[in-house]
Structure 1
Amino acid sequence: MTWRDYDTEFATLFTPTMVYRWQRPTREGGQWTGRTAGLSRGEPSHIPNPLKVVPLVELPNRGRLHGKPRSEIASVLPLQDSVNTLWAHLLTASDGLALPARAVLGMDRPVREIVDPETGEVVGEEDLPLDKFRSDRLLWLEKQGASIAEFSAADLQNYLSVIEVAVQHIAAQTRTPPSYLAGKLVNVSPDGVAASEAGLVAKVTERQRHFGSALREVMRLEALAKGEARRAESLALGSVVWRDPQFRSDAQYSDALVKLKSIGVPDEALWERIPGVTPDEIERWKKMRTDAAGAILGGNVTDLFGPKPDQGEDDDQADEPEGAEEAA
């Protein structure tokens, strides 16, 4: 991999046994030399690879058995270029044609006399620049028959209509909800929002299935870098658990979990479906459930419903004669 930092370009090559590090100046077109960043600490430019593997993991988008992975935006780049072009045309038109234009008909162009400074005689005339009149908003009609004409402003909505259609095509091809691109979401029911996001949720779910193995390898390399070989071996045999890509409210999650419970799904499986719940919390819930069951079977429900009143105090209150409190 290579990168540039100000006027120096760096390169690093990873192999299972070595890590080669080079640098070169970009402005002078120099040759690649060993990295000098760690020489002051006695570190050589090329060092052995402590992981014994290449610490780079590819996350291919829409990987295929033959050929390179396919970009997510490659199919919509022409449409995006069209949108940019139309937007540039719209700004150009708004600069000169967005407002009505007026013209003076039947009148000579304003001129200025040229006077000889020595003799004071008029030796000619020259046209006056119109920019001054435009900025001062001055206009006069002295010649008979002169009139004013007006050109209406251009309708820029035509550009916007074509841009909106192009954006809709981009949303359809990329399975992006139109509201994400257009920003229009007024009086839409929750079911309508979920239906508009169905394509995006399906695409995200598909990517989760393909990216899981690569992210598992990333976690394995992290364990190797920390020197935890046993954890790295366990991670290599594990699986990536993703959060639900579809947004649901707490009420929707609760309703779904209750329905799953009604068909016999175990509590542990339901707890795993709750967003934000960690395995440690699930283990704590299991312990709490076990303690509660043990208290019920043992006849001690104090921990479940709070402490009971003292039995002796109840007996004393029951033995007091009526009216004793009043007599006291």
Structure 2
Amino acid sequence: MTDITKRLQFGLDRLRYDYEERLETIDRYYRGRHAGPYMPRNADSEYKLLAKRAIHNWLPWIVAAPLQNLQVDGFRPSSGKGDAVWDIWQANRMDARQRTVHEGALVYGHSYVIVSEGADGPEIKPVSAMRIWAAYDDPVTDEFPLYAVQVFKNPDSGVEERVRYYDDRQIIDLASRDGRWLITGRKAHRFGVTPVVRFASQIDLLGRSAGLVEPLIPICDRINQTWFDLLIAQTFGSFKVRYATGMAPPLDIDPATGEVRTDPDTGEPLYRPVQFDPTRVMMAEDPDTRFGELSETPLDGFLKSLELNVQHMAAVSQTPPHYLLGTMANLSADALAAAESAMMRKVDALKQVFGEAWESVLRLCAKAAGKAKLATDRKAQVVWRDTGSRSLAQTADAFGKLTQMVNVPPEALWDKLPGFTQTDIDKFHEYKSQADSRAAGHRNVPMSKDDEQ
């Protein structure tokens, strides 16, 4: 128990450190709570209102671009059918919940999935990197961690009130009592490994993971500063100012008393503002009076700076610029594919990384379900949804040529058809089996004498 206590405390310390140093800042920016732009120390309420309006959060659209192309649609074992494992996936509603796993990995750099043995079968639980920390002997090559520590916070106070510890033999629940962690539950498992799988979008040889948000924080600050400067110029200097020198404005006379109105605080006389409109002609009796105007501040420079910063953000994140700027007009299919090629290469790389993680998750599910063959199938693969811009007619035409000219079996292409899920493909196989059975039965029926004649 002493070793577990040390591991638990070390995991909690690392989780708090990561949260305070990085994850909390990343979370604030992704949720739109950015650091405010620079403004003078003596800024009044009007300045502060403009600073609040200057915050523009582009980060959700940066994350959404690859996220919308990451959808697991099926599971393909090396031999036989993977219905048993896919049924576990469906029972855990992972068609929808997988998005949170991918989003967490793209935002924070990594997220986790925990597999446990439930009363109704294996359970798949996505967990944010802000709530769990895992220790690895080799953080780059190890498939599973040595141990993991998950924190549960009170939804009202945000205080850490429960902790769950995972290792290769057991899962231990602990609760906080008078500053100490006391065991409230212990459950052994049959996985043989710590049933925690990491999803890391980008990881280096030192085990450091980076998401899409953190590198873009400085660019977000520049964009917000430019927006603030634009609002200041637009509010205070985007219009012409007319002026007159050598003349005094008319005094403000109270029509009821005929006396000059004065400022209640200073006692100084008040003047009526000079009205400027197209129907008035400005005249003055004094020949030394001069009229003029101050030109407005041009806003083109601010707008170009905004566009440049957004393009910089798109380049750094490999996001097509027209996703953010809306500048697409009359693009051909080839031009559109070229504009999106960098992002699709990034999506393909993410599919490779996340695909390996999902295969580990599904092997754990197979082991929990007692499917020994599927639990050790290292050649099994997950099937990703085809989100390309090709139409179903184009795909069907291409696959038809493959079956006719290259003699590819049609069944081998079913799981590559866009828009069809694993459930649809299973139905295709079922229909084909029924058709083959009927055809075989028809061939085995003996012919009558009339048929022979």
TM-score (norm 2): 0.52
Give, in whole Å, the separation in 2 of the partners of 1:257 and 1:83: 47
Q: 1:41 — aligned with what?
A: none
Aligned pair 1:64/2:234, yes or no?
A: no
Flag the 1:176–1:235 CA change in 2: closer, same or farther, 3 A.
farther
Decide which of 381, 384, 389 is 1:247's aligned counterpart. 389
How big is each residue's C-alpha offset from its partner over 1:170-191, in whole Å with a ceiling of 9 and x where there is no partner? 2122211111111232222222
Q: CA deviation at 1:246?
A: 2.3
Q: CA deviation at 1:274?
A: 0.6
Amino acid in the other structure paired with 1:15: Y
Asked whether the equivalents of residues 203 and 210 of structure 2 are also in contact (C-alpha less than 8 Å), the reply is yes
Q: CA deviation at 1:160?
A: 1.0
Asked whether the equivalents of residues 111 and 126 of structure 1 are also in contact (C-alpha less than 8 Å), the reply is no
Alignment partner of 1:46: what SS? strand
Q: 1:216 — aligned with what?
A: 359
Q: CA deviation at 1:245?
A: 4.1
Asked whether the equivalents of residues 249 and 273 of structure 2 are also in contact (C-alpha less than 8 Å), the reply is no
Give, in whole Å, the separation in 2 of the partners of 1:165 and 1:260: 45
Q: 2:346 — aligned with what?
A: 203
Flag the 1:141–1:128 CA change in 2: closer, same or farther, 3 A.
farther
Give, in whole Å, the separation in 2 of the partners of 1:9 and 1:54: 26
For residues 159-178 of structure 1, the aligned pairs below 5 Å read: 159-178=302-321
Q: 1:31 — aligned with what?
A: 179
Alignment partner of 2:268: what SS? strand
Give, in whole Å, the separation in 1 of the partners of 2:267 and 2:216: 60
Give, in whole Å, the separation in 2 of the partners of 1:222 and 1:20: 22
Q: Which runs of 5+ in 2 are unaligned?
A: 1-149, 254-265, 447-453
Aligned pair 1:80/2:230, yes or no?
A: no
Decide which of 412, 418, 430 is 1:284's aligned counterpart. 430
Give, in whole Å, the separation in 1 of the partners of 2:311 and 2:241: 34
Q: CA deviation at 1:125?
A: 7.1
Q: Which moved more, 1:45-54 or 1:170-179?
A: 45-54
Taking only the aligned residue pairs, the percentage that are identical comes to: 27
Alignment partner of 2:371: what SS? helix
Alignment partner of 2:383: what SS? coil
Asked whether the equivalents of residues 366 and 374 of structure 2 are also in contact (C-alpha less than 8 Å), the reply is no
Q: 2:370 — aligned with what?
A: 229
Asked whether the equivalents of residues 205 and 245 of structure 1 are also in contact (C-alpha less than 8 Å), the reply is no
Higher RCO, 1 vs 2 (CA within 8 Å, ≥6 residues apart)? 2
How big is each residue's C-alpha offset from its partner over 1:140-175, in whole Å with a ceiling of 9 and x where there is no partner? 865524343212221112111111122112212221
Give, in whole Å, the separation in 1 of the partners of 2:291 and 2:365: 78
Q: CA deviation at 1:100?
A: 1.6
Q: 1:194 — aligned with what?
A: 337
Give, in whole Å, the separation in 2 of the partners of 1:240 and 1:58: 16
Q: 1:20 — aligned with what?
A: 173
Asked whether the equivalents of residues 102 and 149 of structure 1 are also in contact (C-alpha less than 8 Å), the reply is yes
Give, in whole Å, the separation in 1 of the partners of 2:224 and 2:154: 30
Q: CA deviation at 1:286?
A: 2.6
Q: Which runs of 5+ in 1 are unaligned?
A: 25-29, 35-43, 114-123, 301-328
Q: CA deviation at 1:217?
A: 2.6
How big is each residue's C-alpha offset from its partner over 1:278-309, in whole Å with a ceiling of 9 and x where there is no partner? 33123134326535755896799xxxxxxxxx
Q: 2:4 — aligned with what?
A: none
Asked whether the equivalents of residues 20 and 46 of structure 1 are also in contact (C-alpha less than 8 Å), the reply is yes
Give, in whole Å, the separation in 2 of the partners of 1:181 and 1:65: 33
Q: CA deviation at 1:198?
A: 1.2
Asked whether the equivalents of residues 243 and 291 of structure 2 are also in contact (C-alpha less than 8 Å), the reply is yes
Aligned pair 1:6/2:161, yes or no?
A: no
Give, in whole Å, the separation in 2 of the partners of 1:69 and 1:241: 25
Alignment partner of 1:45: what SS? strand
Asked whether the equivalents of residues 314 and 321 of structure 2 are also in contact (C-alpha less than 8 Å), the reply is yes
Q: 2:231 — aligned with what?
A: 91
Q: CA deviation at 1:23?
A: 4.7
Alignment partner of 1:5: what SS? coil
Q: 1:48 — aligned with what?
A: 187
Q: 1:133 — aligned with what?
A: 273
Q: CA deviation at 1:108?
A: 3.5
- Count how many residue pairs are aligned between Structure 1 and Structure 2: 271
Asked whether the equivalents of residues 364 and 375 of structure 2 are also in contact (C-alpha less than 8 Å), the reply is no
Give, in whole Å, the separation in 1 of the partners of 2:335 and 2:294: 45
Asked whether the equivalents of residues 14 and 20 of structure 1 are also in contact (C-alpha less than 8 Å), the reply is yes
Q: 1:310 — aligned with what?
A: none
Q: CA deviation at 1:94?
A: 0.9
Flag the 1:152–1:291 CA change in 2: closer, same or farther, 3 A.
farther
